[in-house]
């Protein structure tokens, strides 16, 4: 049975919608062809829009069979690409979240914090899920975003993945989890879902 995910989500200031092949030029320009944005990714920086088109086509095939959903996050005010959020369903009842943020434009990190919170809260509200996990390279500052969202670090995964845009060799990753049980405990100690202080 395919785990149903919405094709669109709305935070009020941000629009999250399923990627399409027509998004390839904008995505290549803002994320997958950008040297700084792709520095810590586990796959090579795209060299052309064709690479990004092929990447999107693969994502859409996975979406069709219920393996994962990738949303394009855009600013409702100007339509600019803010980032992407991917939700993997292969490990149900746990879901995996992955986030890529464009480095262009103001307040992109805060915007992606809001967008990721929206997706994770939606995922945890589904009766068929027990939690959401994420893997983040230890040399990437993105783990701060996960901790602000109430994720708890559970392990270090030695040599988990490569970072081909920085050279050969594997790097360690942190494994983070935000489960329904941990969420109840976190709320008891002060964490609250909702707007992020800015």
Q: Does domain 8-188 have CATH number 3.40.630.30?
A: yes
What's the burial of 18, exposed, middle or buried (CB within 10 Å: 0-12/13-18/19+)? middle
Residue-wise pLDDT for 114-155, tens only, equals 999 999 999 999 999 999 999 999 998 888 889 999 999 999
Q: Is the peptide bond before 108 cis (omega within 30 degrees of 0)?
A: no
Residue-wise pLDDT for 150-187, tens only, equals 999 999 999 999 999 988 889 999 999 999 875 555 45
The answer to whether 143 touches 176, Cβ cutoff 8 Å, is yes
Mean pLDDT of 32-37: 93
Residue-wise pLDDT for 43-70, tens only, equals 999 999 999 999 999 999 999 999 999 9
Residue (of 119, 49, 123, 57) closest to 93 by Cα position: 123
For tokens 């995964």, the residue is 157
What predicted TM-score, i.e. pTM, was given to this entire model? 0.86
Q: Where are the domains of the chain?
A: 8-188
Residues 6+ apart with CB under 8 A from 134: 96, 97, 98, 99, 146, 151, 175, 176
């Amino acid at each position: 049975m395919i785990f149903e995910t919405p094709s669109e989500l709305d935070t009020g200031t941000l629009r999250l919608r399923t990627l399409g092949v027509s998004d390839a030029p904008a995505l290549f320009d803002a994320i997958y062809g950008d040297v700084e944005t792709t520095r810590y990714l586990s796959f090579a920086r795209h060299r052309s829009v064709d690479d990004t088109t092929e990447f999107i086509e693969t994502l859409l095939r996975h979406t069709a069979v219920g393996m994962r959903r990738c949303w394009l996050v855009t600013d409702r005010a100007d339509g600019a690409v803010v980032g992407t959020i991917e939700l993997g369903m292969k490990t149900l009842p746990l879901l995996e979240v992955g986030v890529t943020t464009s480095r262009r434009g103001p307040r992109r990190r805060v915007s992606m914090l809001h967008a990721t919170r929206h997706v994770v809260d939606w995922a945890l509200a589904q009766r068929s899920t027990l939690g959401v996990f994420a893997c983040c390279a230890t040399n990437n500052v993105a783990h701060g975003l996960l901790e602000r969202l109430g994720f708890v670090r559970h392990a270090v995964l030695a040599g988990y993945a490569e970072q081909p845009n920085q050279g050969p060799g594997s790097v360690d990753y942190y494994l983070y989890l935000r489960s329904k049980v941990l969420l109840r405990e976190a709320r008891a100690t002060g964490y609250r879902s909702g707007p992020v202080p800015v």
